[in-house]
Structure 1
Amino acid sequence: MKIMFALKNPQLTEAISNIVPSHVEANYSYNETELTKTITRLSQELNFLIVQEDIFYDSHPWEWLGNIKNLVSDKTKIIVILSINTDSLYRELFNRICLELEITLVQGALTNQDIVDEINGRVFNNKRTVDSNIAGRLTTFIAASPKDGATTVAISTSICLAQRLPGQKVLLLDLNLKSPEVRDHLLITTDKGYPLIQADCDSGTLEQNTLLKACDQIKGIENLYILTGLQRREYAEKISVDEIEHLLTVAKATFDYVIADVHTFPDQAATVKCVKNADDRVVVVQSVITSYQSTWNDWFNSVWQHYGLKESDFHLALNRDLNAAMDGFQIEKSMGSKIVSRISNVEKGAGIKAINYGTPLYLNEDTETNEFRTNILTLSGWLANRANLELTAVENDKKSALHGKRVGFLRRLMP
């Protein structure tokens, strides 16, 4: 095996050199000129080319990425260690170029040891980290019609489950590829997310550690991980079924509970695969005829039933509930599925605040969200019960609508 390392950081170079096996021929360069000379000499023999982005600090990515791709053979796998200091527009452009050129990425905002671990896993450990005998549970949230509030409900349910399952790792997947809004809902501004691992998913080489490092987290909820979605919506239909299958396999091997937020329309691999593979399918619906009758029934009759799914394979969360008993009856009759949670409408602009200020409704302890929080807890309790998990009370229950209602209350929430 022959590897070329182009690294700007001397400490990182030393750390990586310590993990290179003796039988591997490793070449090192420390600037663009040295790299070009070495690649020209070894171009057809290289198995891996590992480049630190900072090597090309005075070059445009659309120039140097294409150049190094053209200098090596098709068999050479290129890995780029990202720079820390870049703006979001630049990073988005960079990610898109790498995706087109099949270049994989390593997050730059890592310690030297983290980067060494990434290289060690991707280059020197070819065995998969996925244990097929260990699989977390997948729950997919889908809106009956666009803007029925599935993303809001998925985010709040993820937070609730993570807080009340302290021994479990929970992942929120934003696979609503045509309308990826989790990043905006939570005001996430990092370079992490699905674009960082998309090439790994496409090649079927995603490692568990790589997935973990591509996730963001909410302060104070250490067991909740969030993988934000695509930043370019036109890529949604380019994502393959195999790519999503691989991501879900690795995610379920890495996390105890996975929640996927997907788009309403089943015209993309992410929606189809997440719904088909789910252990639980929650359809977020409103008491609006275009939601529970027109849109949903059209898609169910034309798509979902042909995948072998029955109406009873879906369960409903009635969002923005107006407490009209006949609404629930009519919705269940029309959709053929049972309502497992009725989620109240939030007054006084709390819903807009949740989006505009990155404050998830479930973490808003104002009076107007008390009923909403209780409704989300009911839904979380139902999901936990189906997974044979028991929710625990949390410290701030006394500050919310759950005052004085401890474990016994939680058990009563689980049908």
Structure 2
Amino acid sequence: MRIAIVTQDEALADAWVSGKRRDGDDIRLFQTPESLVDSPASSEFDHIVLSDRYFDLPQFCDCAELLKERFPKASLTALLSDRHDAAENGRWIKACIVGGIHYVPPHRTRDAINGALHRRFYGEDGDLAEGASSTIVFVGSTPNIGTTFVSFGTAVGIARRTERSVAYLCLNLKSSKLHRYIGIEKPEGSLDHLRAELRSQSLRPERLRSYCETAKGMPNLRMLFGNQLREQAEFFTAEDIEHLLHAAKRAFDICIVEVNAYWDNAATICALLQANSRILVTTPELTHFQEDADRWLRGLCPIVGMEAESFDLVVTQSDRSAGSAGIRQRDIRKETGLSLIGKVGKYADLTEAVNQGKLLELLLGPHPLARDVDAVAALLAEVCGIEARLRSQRKPLGRLFGRLRVKTGKAGRTIWES
């Protein structure tokens, strides 16, 4: 296979020259589009990768047409950068779709770009070897509305259904409380303990497993507690989080991830981009499902290259008798435009129980919370193809589920063609 890469990003190019290409493949690097067009007449390529940083949109379209004429057998992929606003990004993406050009969305780290290119060239993630690992990410529309109860309850429910290994990763960098909810005052292993290995990109799957706490009575469920050093939350970079998620996918079959409701940190953005399934948790409060959800989803999804419709919805604090000023679940569904996949009731005894560290006991017992989140776990297990330990007695729920999108990513002396 012959591949041409037109970019001035030496680190990205060097990753392909030094190790990501397969034996026998020919990688040619060009610093300008003109040098590619003027390459010897005998040159032919199977793939051409072209950065958008050389052009405005009309120039890019002209160059793409020229390259198609010059190299008719080549598949063209555009690397879209973060130099445009959301509206301009939309125009570039539409131009790529209309022109039959593959593209890597903007606001991706170098690791994610290389992963996307590897899948484009070879149809897989190469040395990442993630297998059939599934990543399900939960994000609240608003803080302190029960997102941890839903996400951890889903992890427990899935772990009870399968023999496969399940990890619960708390990537809430500023307000992690799960350890207290399950009765652990000072966790021995938490996200901040991994800082050095994440920064050096040296975290191995077996090392990550050793940091995770095994859930009591559930040997196939392990938990990585969230960052305990809140003042250092901003020090986690996108590369750190992507490296952690890649290690988790190699270490576990299924990863359930909770992130902070505010999208101003690397953990929330990167985890959502990496997710196979994205779940938004909200409440019947108007300011939560309308104001907060709309501003995060409709405001930021286009900027980072996600579709708001790729999220599904779980409603917490649902009170059938009160209805929250007459607001019904179908009203929430219509307002958000998302598929409603579950609801969790409002239980007066829940706060006291979690303050006593009894969340896991509630989820494993007859409490109504366990029933509510188990329905979400059953649905997600069915949609993600997670084989059951025992056949569920519930009716099939798959038809209720909405859209699940796949987002994945992977980590990365340059010789330039003239």
* Structure 2 residue runs without a partner (length 5+): 1-125, 400-418
Tell me if 1:203 matches 2:186. no
Any idea what SS the aligned residue of 2:393 has?
helix
Q: Report the 3-state secondary structure (helix = DSSP H, G, I; strand = E; otherwise coil) of the residue aligned with 1:316.
A: strand
The reply on whether 1:153 has 2:150 as its aligned counterpart is yes
Letter in 2 for 1:384: A
Output the amino acid matched with 1:214.
Answer: Y
Q: 1:302 deviation in Å?
A: 2.4
1:290 aligns with 2:274: no
Pick aligned residue for 1:163 from 155, 160, 172:
160
Separation of aligned partners in 1, 2:386 and 2:227: 32
Q: Is the Cα–Cα contact under 8 Å of residues 170 and 256 in structure 1 kept in the other structure?
A: yes
Tell me which of 167, 181, 186 is aligned to 2:177.
181
| Distance change in 2, residues 1:302/1:291 (3 Å) | same
Match in the other structure for 2:96: none
| Residues 408 and 386 (structure 1), Cα distance of their counterparts in 2 relative to 1, 3 Å cut | closer
What is the CA-CA distance between 1:387 and the residue it aligns to? 1.0
Q: 1:13-412 maps to which residues of 2 (within 5 A)?
A: 131-165=128-162, 167-188=163-184, 189-323=186-320, 324=323, 326-347=327-348, 349-360=349-360, 362-363=362-363, 365-366=365-366, 369-370=367-368, 372-393=369-390, 407-410=391-394, 412=396
Which amino acid in the other structure matches residue 173 of structure 2? L
Flag the 1:378–1:363 CA change in 2: closer, same or farther, 3 A. Answer: closer
Structure 1 distance, partners of 2:331, 2:360, is: 30
Native 8 Å contact 2:204 2:247 kept in 1 = yes
Q: Offset at 1:160?
A: 1.0
1:308, 1:206 → 2: CA distance?
Answer: 28
8 Å contact kept, 1:193–1:228:
yes
| Cα shift at 1:149 | 0.8
Question: Residue by residue, what CA displacement relative to the aligned partner does 1:45-91 show, whole Å, maximum 9, x if unpaired?
Answer: xxxxxxxxxxxxxxxxxxxxxxxxxxxxxxxxxxxxxxxxxxxxxxx
**Deviation per CA, 1:8-37, whole angstroms, max 9, x where unpaired?**
xxxxxxxxxxxxxxxxxxxxxxxxxxxxxx
Distance in 2, matches of 1:133 and 1:176, equals 24
- SS of corresponding position for 1:231: coil
Task: Compare relative contact order (CA 8 Å, sep 6+) and give the higher one, 1 or 2.
Answer: 2
CA–CA distance in structure 2, aligned partners of residues 379 and 243 of structure 1: 30
The CA deviation string for residues 107-165 of structure 1, in whole angstroms up to 9 with x for no partner, is xxxxxxxxxxxxxxxxxxxxxx9742525111001111111110111111111111111
Give the Cα separation in 2 of the matches to 1:221 and 1:317.
Answer: 25
Report the Cα offset of residue 388 of structure 1. Answer: 1.0
Question: 1:321, 1:344 within 8 Å by CA — same for their partners in 2?
Answer: yes
Verify the 8 A CA contact 1:341 1:378 in the aligned structure 2.
yes
**In structure 1, C-alpha distance between the alignment counterparts of 2:340 and 2:175, rounded to whole Å:** 25
Rounded to whole Å, the distance in 2 between the matches of 1:133 and 1:380 is: 22
Q: Which amino acid aligns with 1:350?
A: L
Give the Å deviation of 1:249. 0.4
8 A contact 1:237–1:267 mirrored in 2: no
Q: Contact 1:130 / 1:253 at 8 angstroms: preserved in 2?
A: no
TM-score computed with the length of structure 1 as normaliser: 0.61
1:180 alignment partner, SS class: coil
| Partner Cα separation in structure 2 for residue 133 and residue 327 of structure 1 | 41
Structure 1 portions without partners, runs of 5+: 1-128, 394-406
Local SS of the residue matching 1:198: helix
Number of residue pairs aligned between Structure 1 and Structure 2? 269
Deviations 1:264-305 (A, max 9, x none): 111000000011111111111100011101111112232122
CA RMSD in angstroms, aligned pairs only: 2.0
- In structure 2, relative to structure 1, the CA distance for the partners of 1:299 and 1:190 (3 Å cut) is closer
Letter in 2 for 1:409: Q
Kept in 2, the 8 Å contact 1:192–1:214? The answer is yes
Q: Which amino acid aligns with 2:311?
A: F
Identity of matched residues, %: 24
Check the 8 A contact 1:138/1:277 in 2, yes or no. yes
Cα shift at 1:232: 1.2
SS in 1 for 2:142: coil
Question: 1:333 Cα deviation (Å)?
Answer: 1.8
Q: CA deviation at 1:216?
A: 0.7
> Match of 1:54?
none
Instruction: Report the CA distance between 1:307 and its aligned residue.
Output: 1.9
TM-aligned CA deviation for residue 233 of structure 1: 1.1
Q: Residues of 1 paired with 2:275 and 2:332: CA distance?
A: 23
How many Å apart are 1:413 and its aligned residue? 3.6
